[in-house]
Amino acid sequence: MAPLVPTLHVSALQSELNTLPHGKPRSPPLDLSQAPRKELVQYRCNVRAKDGGGPPKQGQRAVIVCDPVVRFYRVCQDGLMVETTAWEGWKDKHVGAELGER
Amino acid sequence: MPPPRIYLASIFARLRNLRSNIPPRLSRNHLKSAAPGGVERNAARYMLTVAQVYLGFHLTFKYFYKLEFTSGISMVPTIPHGINSSPPCILVSMLHRRGKGVKVGDVVVYTHPSNQTQACKRVIGMPGDYVCVVSPNREAEDLPTAAEEEEEDTFVQFKEEMIRVPEGHCWVAGDNLEWSRDSRIHGAVPLNLIRGKVLAVCLPFGERKWLGGGGLREVQEGGHELVIR
């Protein structure tokens, strides 16, 4: 069975990335916002009525409609991939709030 | 009394004698010199051919490439579900078994860590990478009703939490996030359970495509289109 893994909040991601396994700070430090961004498109598919709208009723023709779900990645040095889908939104909110305070 | 001396030459001479008494081995040269069209010759050749063909197929399918049929809705729309049609067929490269050369974005075939069945999902994170925590998939009893359609649902929501993929494991997710049982349920998959990487969808012929390049690409400006099947 797979090992249990702890979760960390996105606000702690940057500091977690810049701490090496033995506790020392990474040198030079990684800056996620400077790393090149890539995307991976996945979907959420559900059955819908062909004429549009919600789930099909009895006798209606149905199609499978797949809404795209985009995952963002930052490619760091040494090929480390960090999924930043939640981090990007959190950063925009956080930086926006900081700028607002100023 | 000293033990009798045994000379090496006498041992070789005895072995040579022994060898000359053994009938010649069943080799091709020997078969050629036998009576042409003999029953033994045909049977031996036939068995040799069968063994060669078997070994060839075994090596190809086990260590190189294999065509496999799939079923299920977890990889729609990348791999069709095949519910009302013939089951989709995929080309799997066994050269990537045990996670060799697998990258984030590749589609892999692996043995399910809990129930030992075969599964096919997309790799979201390799050892040491960070992945987002996503709320789980729907189950059959969670089918949306018309009233619930309007509400904001709780399935497939990206939470503000991250996971570091453990060493020697990878994180997988089906392309149909709402209807896929993947690492959100069974956790990280040991790389050792990966049987191969999916290179292409071969059947149905109308939906044939290459998947070998992986799903990761440069960020596109503008929205992504709905896929309707």
Rounded CA-CA distance A35/A38 in Å is 10
Instruction: Give the one of A1, A9, A80 whose C-beta lies nearest to B129's C-beta.
Output: A80
| Cα–Cα distance for residue pair B124/B187, rounded to 1 Å | 12
Query: Hey, is the C-beta of B152 within 8 angstroms of any chain A C-beta?
Result: no
Q: Domain for residue A23, yes or no? A: no
At B58 the pLDDT is 94
Q: Which residues of B touch A13 (CB under 8 A)?
A: 130, 162
Is A2 a member of any domain? no
Task: Please tell me if residue B148 touches chain A, with a CB cutoff of 8 Å.
Answer: no
Whether A22 maps to a domain, the answer reads no
In A30-89, the residues whose Cβ lies within 8 Å of chain B are 37-46, 54-55, 63-73, 80-83, 85-87, 89
Helix (H, G, I), strand (E, B) or coil at B188: coil
Which residues of chain B lie closer than 8 angstroms to A90, CB-CB? 160
B158/A54 CB distance under 8 A: no
Tell me which chain A residues have a C-beta less than 8 angstroms from the C-beta of B114: 1
DSSP string for A49-77: ETTSSSS--TT--EEEEEEEEEEEEEE-G
The helix (H) or strand (E) run that includes residue B171 is strand B169-173
Tell me B210's DSSP state: E
Query: Considering the domain boundaries, does residue A61 fall inside one?
Result: yes
Q: What's the confidence (pLDDT) of residue B82?
A: 81
Retrieve residue B63's tokens.
């260590």
For the stretch B155-160, contacts whose Cβ atoms lie closer than 8 Å and that sit 24 or more positions apart, written own/partner, are B155/A44, B156/A44, B156/A69, B158/A85, B158/A86, B158/A89, B158/B132, B158/B133, B158/B134, B159/A86, B159/B132, B159/B133, B159/B134, B159/B135, B160/A9, B160/A10, B160/A11, B160/A86, B160/A90
**Best of B132, B167, B185, B191 to disrupt the A interface by mutation (most A CBs within 10 Å)?**
B132
Most A CBs within 10 A among B106, B160, B229, hence the mutation to make, goes to B160
By the 8 A CB rule, do B91 and B61 touch?
A: no
Which pLDDT belongs to residue B221?
A: 78
From A1, A8, A65, residue closest to B226, measured CB to CB: A65
Query: Whole-angstrom Cα distance, residue A89 to residue B21?
Result: 86
By Cβ distance, the residue of B130, B145, B146 closest to A82 is B130
Report the pLDDT value the prediction gives residue B32, as an integer from 0 to 100.
Answer: 58
The answer as to whether A97 is a domain residue is: yes
Residue A61 vs residue B33, higher pLDDT: A61
Task: Provide the ipTM.
Answer: 0.87
Give the residue numbers spanning the domain of A53.
31-101
Compute how many other C-beta atoms are within 10 angstroms of the C-beta atom of residue A88: 16
User: How far is residue A84's CA from residue B139's CA, in Å, rounded to a whole number?
Assistant: 27
Note the pTM of the prediction, 2 decimals: 0.79
- Residue B158 CA to residue B161 CA, distance in Å, equals 8
Query: Smallest Cβ distance to B77: which of A43, A71, A73?
Result: A43
Q: Within a domain: residue A18? A: no
pLDDT along chain B (229 residues), means of 10: 81 88 68 61 89 95 92 88 86 92 93 90 92 81 57 74 91 90 90 94 87 83 76
Using the beta-carbon criterion (under 8 Å), do A46 and B178 form an inter-chain contact?
A: yes
In percent, the amount of chain A with pLDDT more than 90 equals: 12
The pLDDT tens digits for A35-51 are: 898 999 999 888 888 87
Q: Is residue A11 part of a domain?
A: no
Distance from the B101 Cα atom to the nearest Cα atom in chain A, whole angstroms: 13
- Binning chain B into helix, strand and coil, the percentages to the nearest 5 are 30, 25, 40
Q: How many domains does chain A have?
A: 1
B121 is catalytic: yes
Report the pLDDT value the prediction gives residue B30, as an integer from 0 to 100.
Answer: 54
Chain B residues touching residue A11 (CB < 8 angstroms): 160
Asked whether residue A75 is domain-assigned, the answer is yes
Say whether B183 is catalytic. no
C-alpha distance across the termini of chain B, in Å: 97
Residue pairs spanning A and B at CB distance below 8 A: 154
